[in-house]
Amino acid sequence: MEVIILPSPDEASRLGARIIANLIKTNAGATLGLATGRTPLRLYRELILLHEKEGLDFSRVTTFNLDEYVGFNQDHPASYHFFMVKHLFSHINISSERTHLPDGTAEDIPASCLRYEELILEAGGIDLQVLGVGTDGHIGFNEPASSLGSRTRIKTLTRQTLQDNEADFKDLNQAPRHAITMGIGTILDSRKCLLLAFGENKAEAVARTVEGPVTSLVPGSALQFHPDTVFLLDEAAASNLAYADYYREVYQGKPDWQRP
Ligand code: F6R
């Protein structure tokens, strides 16, 4: 695992965007796994800038999002589909046929989850998966006690997650209780993971994810088994890490040829 601590979310997001841009430049047909929420907003803004200013070409890129709320169709303003179009897809040259999200309105949810897994395989697997982390340690919507081998499926959201995402809904009582999410096993199959976390409210979840024991109670801790995960953190999110100084030293000493 590589833990990179930068002074601000802007700097961490710029680095994240550079890592993604380098991947697309070396593999124009790359498959990206994408996340929603507040954390990747700056990352998406940086990618849009790279597209506008440097011509970063998304025309052959394929994307799969981690999750979607059950019961929301694509046009629902709180759906993750709507979020992705608003914050990324409508600003870059990506074809809508190449962007995928779980179908929150599928009649047969288990069958549509199976199909989602098949589509990822047909695309050749995910080259790079963008992740955030929930205050309860979830990645995707794999809430505590999710199987570390899980695949795409329906999950019940915890109260804490609903409260964290309260701003997305006019009324918490109207918020969906379920989401379809890639499983931990699906995420671990990605060739590279890029987890971004910012702010003090993520510090405990980050410490448990990076340095705690691997346990289904902190689903993100399963990333300790992944051979190529990069954590991009700001100082506040890194503030509970016991080995923060060591991670800084490693990053400072990194040779130029290894830097994105
Ligand atoms: C969203 C997702 C979630 C979020 C997490 C953090 O697609 O998979 O795991 O990354 O809930 O959310 P924010 O970024 O809003 O703090």
71-87 confidence digits (pLDDT tens): 999 999 999 999 999 99
Active site residue 117: no
CA-nearest residue for atom 2, ligand 1, is: 140
At residue 209, does pLDDT exceed 90? yes
If pLDDT is split at 50, 70 and 90, which confidence band does 260 have?
confident
Euclidean distance between CA atoms 42 and 16, whole angstroms: 10
If pLDDT is split at 50, 70 and 90, which confidence band does 114 have?
very high
Distance 43 CA to ligand 1 centre (A): 13
Query: Which ligand 1 atom sits closest to the C-alpha of 39?
Result: 14
Active site residue 138: yes
Write the CA distances from 235 to 39, 161, 196, integer angstroms.
15, 23, 12
At residue 130, does pLDDT exceed 90? yes
Q: How far is CA 206 from the centre of its chain?
A: 14
- Find, among 161, 160, 155, the residue nearest to 179 by Cα: 155
Euclidean distance between CA atoms 32 and 126, whole angstroms: 6
If pLDDT is split at 50, 70 and 90, which confidence band does 139 have?
very high
- Give me the half-sphere count of Cα atoms (radius 13 Å) on the Cβ side of residue 42: 17
Euclidean distance between CA atoms 215 and 147, whole angstroms: 9
At residue 259, does pLDDT exceed 90? no
Write the CA distances from 67 to 119, 164, 211, 221, 230, integer angstroms.
15, 16, 26, 19, 21
Work out the percent of the chain whose per-residue pLDDT is above 90: 94
Average pLDDT, the chain: 97
* pLDDT for the residue numbered 25: 98
Active site residue 178: no
E strand or H helix at 64, and its extent?
strand 62-65
pTM for the model stands at: 0.97
Which of 46, 68, 127, 143 is catalytic? The answer is 143
Active site residue 75: no
Which of 68, 103, 117, 136 is catalytic? The answer is 136
Q: In the chain, which residue ranges form alpha helices assigned H by DSSP?
A: 9-26, 41-54, 80-87, 109-122, 159-164, 184-188, 203-211, 244-252
Q: Answer left, alpha or beta for residue 199, where phi above 0 means left and psi between -120 and 50 means alpha.
A: left
